[in-house]
Amino acid sequence: MKKLLLLPTLNEKDAIKPISEELPNWFDDVLVVDGGSTDGTVEEAKKAGFKVMQQRYGKGKGYGVRTAMEEFLKTDNDILVMVDTDGTCVLEDTKDMIELIENGEADVVIGTRILSKKREKGSMPLIVWIGNFLASLLMSIPHFRLYSDVQSPYWAFNRKAVETLLPKLKASKFEIETEIFVKALKSGLKVREVPVGYRKRIGHTKFSIMLRIRNFLYIVWFTIYGFRWWFWAILLILVGGWWAYKNGYW
């Protein structure tokens, strides 16, 4: 099965060369989708031999991922693998993710940092670990399954998953991962997790306080969105019964 590696970028020049030097031989193509870098990222990616294109629709990681999915479907690749382009992801660890898809065990695979024993010291502060796990636990509740890292930078999709998800995705920024997660499960796709390594990032984080607050609000929204219709039907019956009882109708 042919595999395309997606590298969404925004001012990640210093990470491009290290990524190119550790690129595993199982990727048939590498696509860099750039969100408007001004530090020479595009030039560095071209120098590394990667295919580079500018993302469509606007600024933000969500637009970059959606652009890449559109391009993926124009190719003859069978599997799309996405990692952050900041040096935190260990590309060798995508092998186990890909194998689950090749074996037909999953349509979507998340690389979990939370359950991994291969995290570099200092790469994920305790407060970030706790926040990610609690967010994942919250978003898992509507689906009656436990996932540990729904905001992971590691994702792999088969062609069926990309075809299913792309028309449903609306995210523009970092909420893209949580949207993919909940809409994959609501679409009936098989979603699995695999432990992966994680390192300190190269360069500075783009996660501002406002983006973190925005992401939290999306986590709450996607948790609510994740519940099926029958949950709301049962809740409505219970609330209606309680109201009738309190008002003497029952």
Q: What is the pLDDT of residue 171?
A: 95
Q: What is the pLDDT of residue 14?
A: 96
Q: What is the pLDDT of residue 155?
A: 98
- The residues with which 157 forms a beta bridge, in sequence order, are 80, 108
How many domains does the chain divide into?
1
Q: What is the pLDDT of residue 242?
A: 83
Cα 124 to the center of its chain, rounded Å: 17
**What is the residue range of 64's domain?**
3-246
Q: What is the pLDDT of residue 250?
A: 72
Does the reported pTM lie above 0.85? yes
CATH of the domain at 104: 3.90.550.10
Q: pLDDT truncated to tens, each residue of the chain (250 aa)?
A: 999 999 999 999 999 999 999 999 999 999 999 999 999 999 999 999 999 999 999 999 999 999 999 999 999 999 999 999 999 999 999 999 999 999 999 999 999 999 999 999 999 999 989 999 999 999 999 999 999 999 999 999 999 999 999 999 999 999 999 999 999 999 999 999 999 999 999 988 777 778 788 889 999 999 999 998 888 888 889 888 888 878 887 7
* CA–CA distances in Å: residue 234 to residues 139, 140, 156, 200: 20, 19, 35, 46
Written as one letter, the residue type at 143 is H
Q: What is the pLDDT of residue 245?
A: 79
Interacting residues of 191 by C-beta distance below 8 A, sequence separation 6+: 106, 107, 108, 109, 110, 147, 181, 184, 185
What is the rounded CA–CA span in Å between residue 218 and residue 250?
39
Contact present, 107 and 78 (Cβ < 8 Å): no
3 state SS of 238: helix
